[in-house]
Chain A
Amino acid sequence: MAALLGRSFRKMSFPSLSHGARRVSTETGKPLNLYSAINQALHIALDTDPRSYVFGEDVGFGGVFRCTTGLAERFGKNRVFNTPLCEQGIVGFGIGLAAMGNRAVVEIQFADYIYPAFDQIVNEAAKFRYRSGNQFNCGGLTIRAPYGAVGHGGHYHSQSPEAFFCHVPGIKVVIPRSPREAKGLLLSCIRDPNPVVFFEPKWLYRQAVEEVPEHDYMIPLSEAEVIREGNDITLVGWGAQLTIMEQACLDAEKEGISCELIDLKTLLPWDKETVEASVKKTGRLLISHEAPVTGGFGAEISATILERCFLKLEAPVSRVCGLDTPFPLVFEPFYMPTKNKILDAIKSTVNY
């Protein structure tokens, strides 16, 4: 399945993804795709901390998406290794390793398969520090998992389960939008003193290419970023969906609508202030994510912004999200929060 996904990602253009990223920093670097940027971050993490470990299913040979390529050869099979095919074991083992003062970077092969580890994440990792009165913690734990649609992944290679984890005090949830972001955010997650779930947009593993600084750098968690400035409406998203949202912003611009686009980056704990400031400026909010709309994280953002910006809002908050079906195969194009769905919602919100 993994090989199939790798060969035939759907083709999309990225008109301004790298443009947006360049605004983060003026630093230049070599053009890298997202999986290579992840790989570079893992090399740096292992190199800079001898107490760090990387493991998961098929990680030893480089991983089904090649994110762990070359790690076992360079750092040895005691620090980079295959595990049995058992997600609760992988995360449970990682918690124990982290609790002994190590950095455990574990890979769940697809986010669709993270659920067997849900108990370990929710009841062990998230409560480890709190329940012990800060006597113990497993802050060195980072769980990496590829998420999201790729055009042909069906029920079990397409899911975006981030909302489940955003309901769990004690963990952080982070999703990068591009190679440069992925490297800097992943290094921050690995070094953060709290357990983190890091969802990687697998659609972008090979498709997104941008200049990534070669050195060791970190991008702060819980800080959203305005990646496109505008005055008429605020759009909030994360991960791969930002590419689609940016295309909608460009099309809206042609129709004279000025969109502000925010990359939330960290969903838990999230940066309310940046979104609030933007909505107070534009008076309108649209949230877009691939996960089903009902109970999605968009609902949380919507409720929070209503509380904070009620009198500034000139239209109802709009959500353009996945539908409330299991992720469908043949019907994926209908399910997805596409550019034109977003564009329509932008127009109807602005013209409300």
Chain B
Amino acid sequence: MNSKTTSLIGAALVLALALTGCGSGSSGSAGSSASTGGAGATAAYDPDATIEIGSLYEPQNLDNTAGGGQGVTEAFNGNVYESLFRLTDDGKVESLLAKDHTVSKDGLTYTFTLRSGVKFHSGKPLTSADVKYSIEKVTGPDSQSARKSSLSVIKSIDTPDDSTVTVKLSSKSISLVYNLSYVWIVNSQAKSLTTTEDGTGPYTLGTWKRGSSLTLERFPGYWGTPATNKQVVFHYFTDATALNNALLTKAVDVVTSEQSPDALANFENNGDYKVNNGQSTTKLLLAFNDRKAPFDKVLVRKAITSSIDNKKLLSSIWGKYGTLIGSMVPPTDPWYEDLTTVNPYDPNLAKKELAEAGYGSGFSFTLDTPNYDPHPTVATFVKSELAKVGITVNINVITADEWYTKVYKNRDFAATLQEHVNDRDVVWYGNPDFYWGYDNPQVTKWVEQAEQSDTADGQTELLKKVNQQIAADAASDWLYLYPQIVVASSSLSGYPVNGLNSQFYAYGIKKSGGRG
């Protein structure tokens, strides 16, 4: 159990850290709201159009098990590589390269039947050996995949024939199918995957000009519905303003994740553009060290949560965008419910709770604050809010590296700010060894049982309980959920708006005539 949870932790935090260079988090999410942007614009479109996409996340390399990062997920997931299952933009898991699958009664053996007629870009037909190879590439010793440990329950993989894969588990794992949606199926014979590719997706790699752009070309031999555009070019930017200028001058058609709230005014109320307010899974946390006084007291944590006006904070940073959630679960996770009323904003209640906890005359603590946006701004806001209930905050600004060592590794902190980007990551509260030290044996047990559930409903029910409990305990203060904003030219339709887990399916994007 521990190893499993730690793995998920790693999965999410690595994204948070990877983002430190670029400002703030986009990424991970599973869409609740429907599907795709530019709905309705189904008129005539150019089937041979080139879609110019602007992004802040360039791949490090082209292999997602060798540290390719968020950028390669964005460009390649579902576009160049496909998995046995696909996570749709609204957060559902559906079959892709697996035609169907069965689960044994004890829940320990999964049998997948592969779709027939699927070919890699090199021309080789897909076989079960490729699937085995691909899963083992993720779980293998050299793998840097963030999903590595979530798949560590896999005991063995057999290939009884070319179209059948049998996976045996060491313990039940209701999330297996979901986790397999992150495993790219790669040709087992392919070489130099850090600079080339051999997948089964609707696009092949054209050219990758490092530091600048990456081109995808429609694959004529694709097994499924061909892409609704001929070519996709990802243009990479390091500066959000430069990215917005590119959109304003029509050098790009769509921005995968808008990170500059101030720039949105240029695109709102402008008929040439559509601003899509999607759902992200990036949560901004004021994480307490629940092991240490005074934050070992539930009442103190509740008091702090009730002292901070999250609504005001969110609107000062993102204007009308973003969501208040009141817990760790974003609306796109199946076990979401609105818990914003559990610890409402109420400074008088906070003062009462503090007095009851024995801190009526207040106290002071140090808030370790990562030095990149939005954390320093948020820290200042927290400081002024808590001053009103008699709590003094000392802001200690640290780098991402220091955060990793001081807070994450050595747990040498009282409270900290951090963004947690992944979906389905409430399970971390089941791990008492995690950096925030929340230790509720009942929650740990529920998280364990949830993973062992026989049905998705069973899992959902248990994780809802977990969510309610951590909110009641104010395990952390979940300040807000980031918005996921996709800005696109109004000539585009069919693009994803939730950008769940950083992916950006391009094969359904349609560009209407006019500008080519």
Asked if A and B are interacting partners, one says: no
Interface residues of B (CB under 8 A from A): none
